[in-house]
Structure 1
Amino acid sequence: MTHPSDVSRYHILAMDLGTSGCKTAVVRLDGTVIGFAAKPVAMHVVAEVGAEQNPEDWWQAFLLSAKEVLKQTKVDRQSVVAVVCSCQGEGTIPVDRSGTPLTHAMLWLDMRGRAAVHRLVKGALPSVAGYDPIKLWRWIRLTGGAPALSGKDPVGHMAFIRESLPGIYEKTYKFLNVLDFMNLRLTGEMVATVDSLLTSWVTDNRDPAHIKVDDKLIEMSRIDRDKFPQLVRCTDQIGTLLPDIADELGLSRRTRVIAGSVDNTASALGSGAIGDGELHLYIGTSSWIGAHVPYQKTDVFRQIASVPCALPDRYLMMAMQSAAGSNLAFLKDNLLFPKDELTTRPANADIFQVLGRMAAEIPAGSRGLLYLPWLMGERTPVDDPNLRATLMNLSLEHTRADIFRAIMEGVALNTRWMMGSVHKFLKQQPNEMTVVGGGAQSDLWCQILADTLDMVIHQPEQPLQANVRGAAFIAGVGINAIDFSDIQTHVSRQASFEPNPQNRGIYQQRYQEFLAAYRALRPVYKTRAKRAGL
């Protein structure tokens, strides 16, 4: 292991590739982010239920942000000992033998595989929660989960390509997740990590230290075995930077590339909440609640499972919320500052800071507004692709500040809805949680979460950088410079938010209205989807 005095001398180039863009940072081995640059990536909605991105846009965003942050920090580039990625999960890119994408990437929001995955999971026996009971038993016993009926995960994407794009399927050499594709571009190697391959549902995850691809699960997927990449651990070194990439970035050709992880694995580490049952909430484009646990477990009815992660002897409990910060981005980009109508637009940070200050003047409850944040369906505690966002009780007296706050409260109310299932899964009711991601930068949102969830919310230093920090920790372990046990000492808290007793009754009433709105509108959403042929 590297001597502790070396922690400040060596650096990791860490990437956080999310749905909204690529953020690249220079991080010290102790988790301190000393430089950070971000470049946006466009998302394309297809036929209302599809969501795509161009993999080349990811790569160019990485190169631009990496060059910018290396120049910005002025670090000795020979001190950058490793490159590592944290990427959005559950994306699917079919590539040919040369590694060239055959289509745009299908993202974690893409539901075009919904019908195909329903055909995949059904059988001769009466269904249980939409699944053939024997298939469901095998998936849960071996993997700890099951394909999403919404079609949003890679098994649904691959089923869609196999059925609807057979020419693309035949040409596919490997199906890669987002992380796998970025590692391919960095090293030329086609590999998948234990968490990036997870939602292809073909791995036996019963022993977290020895995860392996299972032949029967491959058969159930109906995808040819050789179209899946080789499996590696998150901390494995998969190669060194390709010479032309190293030269372009000004890094050593000996710079190691560590396999890295999907974003929820990295955020759990970067939050510092790595003890058993310690909760973290990520609020970015999407949102999730996570906690490390020592057991594999699945709640198929509420779509919660403990899944493989970077820790070699633990699983990560995950409860996913499809849309969080994307609701605010939708308000900004489509209503307040539409891109196609304005030649100059305020910077995102300026927009959100101004609106945040305005929303802070609005009382709890948003003066009667209620927002349902389901822009593209929901996953937990209900896996329902038909749900859509709704703003209720809007009147002439409301302003954009009311709407902005109502959106923040709507995400918090949806998080509370998830939290009930999380408590049942963990068989305990934690009274504190660490919040990370872009949303965690807002003191107002942290306080709304504390009041709505009735629990203490911790805000770590550099909450936006939690993913790159977590990825850097993975790289540090991969090069034998740190241990996972060191992480808690490397993440400091910036603030803590206590629940305001005066707001407890307000948010309890709003939560009951939120549940009532879901029950009342669910059949409306379902009918609308049927009429639209979705």
Structure 2
Amino acid sequence: MKNQTFKYLQAKDYIIAKLTGKFATDYSDASGTNLLNIKKKEWSEELIKLWQIDDEKLPEILPSTAVVGEVHSKAAEETGLMPGTPVVIGGADGCCAALGAGAIDEGDIFNYIGSSSWISFSSSRPVFDQEMRTFNFIHLDENKYIPIGTMQAAGTSFQWLRDILFQDVLKTDTAKHIYEMMNEEAESSPIGSNQLIFLPYLMGERSPWWNPNAKGSFIGLTINHKRSDLIRAVLEGISMNLKLIFDALQENYDRPFQDIWLFGGGAKSRIWRQMLADLFGVTIRIPKILDETTSMGAAVAGGVGVGLLKDLTAAKAWCVEAESFEPDQRNHQSYQTALKAFEQVYKQVEPIFNQWNGVE
């Protein structure tokens, strides 16, 4: 197969090649290949040799704001774009989201909760974790880095519970308000969901465990638990996994995080906003625009590339705070107890998950 390969490209880079005829990638996407020396910011000769890769098949690496070329005539006919339109290389999705979230200055940190979820921040250096719970991308500003931790099933877990427990509601006119109903119901359950723990590993897990064999689980379920406890347990399970990611990033970074921006569909839930503030122990900042963070970052990169914007700091002006949520210290302490139980439960059942998948 490798002998039949002309160039190794990321998805966006393939589209750019079709538009312009040029083969290139940017530093952010290149840093996600495990083939880039992220300190030197060049393809790793050691890994190229180890994996027996033909380095001539690797694309040129450019800054995310670079104009790769122009839309050629054939692509213009096929797409309806104007021939000669400049094409900016752009960046990896999570890195575009970081820029769209205004994470530009040192220590700017944000949490995105969509189907999946991640926490990342802007740093002048890569942040390495000895336990390998987190990893690094290169920022759309190629002079900076984005240390990051990602989880698989965040909003997906909440949606799964919705589909399981609220099938009748989904068939009615009130379905559009279903998440509000679930959030209100969750508020009637106390912190710790009456000693019910949910492991949100419905699709295996990336950070902090990196275990594709992990499974979703309710631990501690009794006949006395109500639907409200299950809903809150799912929210808390997602949030506690994010707290483990947050802690892993903080442990390896020399500046304390004082606040964190929250984006995505999960940021629409007031109970979830306060839950994260209480768990993280920092201020949660909510922007006016919750969605399309990735598209905003890509738009800024494109605007800078073609000269419509001065530089990437323009993203700061696009990120305007609507409100904030301060942590309740009593709740924070209560959550520390729940977090320890959450972590202990995973470590106890992890061998079973691995055994089910034939891993000793």
Aligned pair partner of 1:213 in 43, 49, 53: 43
Aligned pair partner of 2:124 in 283, 288, 294: 294
Shift of 1:440: 1.8
| 1:452 and 2:279 are equivalent in the alignment | yes
1:232-247 residue pairs with structure 2 within 5 A? 232-241=62-71
Shift of 1:509: 1.9
C-alpha separation between the residues in 2 aligned to 1:496 and 1:322? Answer: 26
C-alpha separation between the residues in 2 aligned to 1:397 and 1:185? Answer: 59
Give the aligned partner of residue 53 of structure 2.
Answer: 223
Aligned pair partner of 2:254 in 424, 427, 433: 427
Aligned pair partner of 1:506 in 334, 337, 345: 334
SS in 2 for 1:195: helix
Is the CA contact 1:457–1:497 (under 8 Å) kept in the aligned structure 2? yes
Check 1:348–1:439 CA distance in 2 against 1; reply closer, same or farther (3 A cut).
farther
Check 1:509–1:204 CA distance in 2 against 1; reply closer, same or farther (3 A cut).
closer
| 1:359 and 2:186 are equivalent in the alignment | yes
Give the aligned partner of residue 317 of structure 2.
Answer: 489
State the Cα deviation string for residues 505-532 of structure 1 (Å, max 9, x = none).
33122111101102211221122221xx
Shift of 1:334: 6.0
Shift of 1:225: 2.6
Is the CA contact 2:264–2:290 (under 8 Å) kept in the aligned structure 1? yes
Is the CA contact 1:267–1:436 (under 8 Å) kept in the aligned structure 2? no
C-alpha separation between the residues in 2 aligned to 1:456 and 1:277? Answer: 14
SS in 1 for 2:122: strand
Shift of 1:361: 3.8
C-alpha separation between the residues in 2 aligned to 1:331 and 1:176? Answer: 37
TM-score normalised over the length of structure 2:
0.88
Instruction: Report the more deviating stretch, 405-414 or 178-187.
Output: 178-187
SS in 2 for 1:368: coil
Check 1:446–1:169 CA distance in 2 against 1; reply closer, same or farther (3 A cut).
same
Give the aligned partner of residue 8 of structure 2.
Answer: 175
| 1:523 and 2:351 are equivalent in the alignment | yes
Give the aligned partner of residue 324 of structure 1.
Answer: 154
SS in 2 for 1:261: coil
C-alpha separation between the residues in 1 aligned to 2:174 and 2:7? Answer: 39
Is the CA contact 2:133–2:245 (under 8 Å) kept in the aligned structure 1? no
Shift of 1:390: 1.0
Aligned pair partner of 1:278 in 100, 103, 108: 108
Is the CA contact 1:436–1:464 (under 8 Å) kept in the aligned structure 2? yes
Cα root mean square deviation, aligned: 2.9
Shift of 1:330: 2.8
C-alpha separation between the residues in 2 aligned to 1:326 and 1:221? Answer: 35
Check 1:323–1:332 CA distance in 2 against 1; reply closer, same or farther (3 A cut).
same
The aligned length equals 359
Amino acid aligned to 1:183: I
C-alpha separation between the residues in 2 aligned to 1:481 and 1:347? Answer: 44
Shift of 1:426: 0.6
| 1:384 and 2:214 are equivalent in the alignment | no
C-alpha separation between the residues in 1 aligned to 2:162 and 2:70? Answer: 41
Check 1:252–1:294 CA distance in 2 against 1; reply closer, same or farther (3 A cut).
same
Regions of 4+ moved over 6 Å: 342-348
Q: Which consecutive residues of structure 1, in runs of 5 or more, have no partner in the other structure?
A: 1-167
State the Cα deviation string for residues 280-337 of structure 1 (Å, max 9, x = none).
1121222222111112342242333443121132111112223322212333456655
Is the CA contact 1:461–1:494 (under 8 Å) kept in the aligned structure 2? yes
SS in 2 for 1:288: strand
SS in 1 for 2:313: helix
Give the aligned partner of residue 26 of structure 2.
Answer: 193
Is the CA contact 1:293–1:306 (under 8 Å) kept in the aligned structure 2? no
C-alpha separation between the residues in 1 aligned to 2:270 and 2:257? Answer: 21
Percent identity (aligned)? 28
Is the CA contact 2:102–2:108 (under 8 Å) kept in the aligned structure 1? no
Amino acid aligned to 2:88: I
Q: Which consecutive residues of structure 2, in runs of 5 or more, have no partner in the other structure?
A: none
Shift of 1:438: 2.2
Is the CA contact 2:116–2:155 (under 8 Å) kept in the aligned structure 1? yes
Is the CA contact 2:28–2:142 (under 8 Å) kept in the aligned structure 1? no
C-alpha separation between the residues in 2 aligned to 1:281 and 1:174? Answer: 34
Check 1:186–1:500 CA distance in 2 against 1; reply closer, same or farther (3 A cut).
farther
Shift of 1:229: 2.9
C-alpha separation between the residues in 2 aligned to 1:307 and 1:438? Answer: 24
Amino acid aligned to 1:205: I
TM-score normalised over the length of structure 1:
0.61
SS in 2 for 1:180: helix
SS in 1 for 2:32: helix
C-alpha separation between the residues in 1 aligned to 2:17 and 2:181? Answer: 41
Is the CA contact 2:204–2:214 (under 8 Å) kept in the aligned structure 1? yes
Shift of 1:235: 0.9
C-alpha separation between the residues in 1 aligned to 2:170 and 2:176? Answer: 18
State the Cα deviation string for residues 436-480 of structure 1 (Å, max 9, x = none).
122222222111101111111111111112111111111111112
When you count strand as a share of all residues, which structure comes out higher?
1
Shift of 1:255: 3.1
Amino acid aligned to 2:9: L
Check 1:356–1:181 CA distance in 2 against 1; reply closer, same or farther (3 A cut).
farther
Give the aligned partner of residue 82 of structure 2.
Answer: 252
Is the CA contact 1:301–1:382 (under 8 Å) kept in the aligned structure 2? no
| 1:466 and 2:293 are equivalent in the alignment | yes
Check 1:442–1:225 CA distance in 2 against 1; reply closer, same or farther (3 A cut).
same
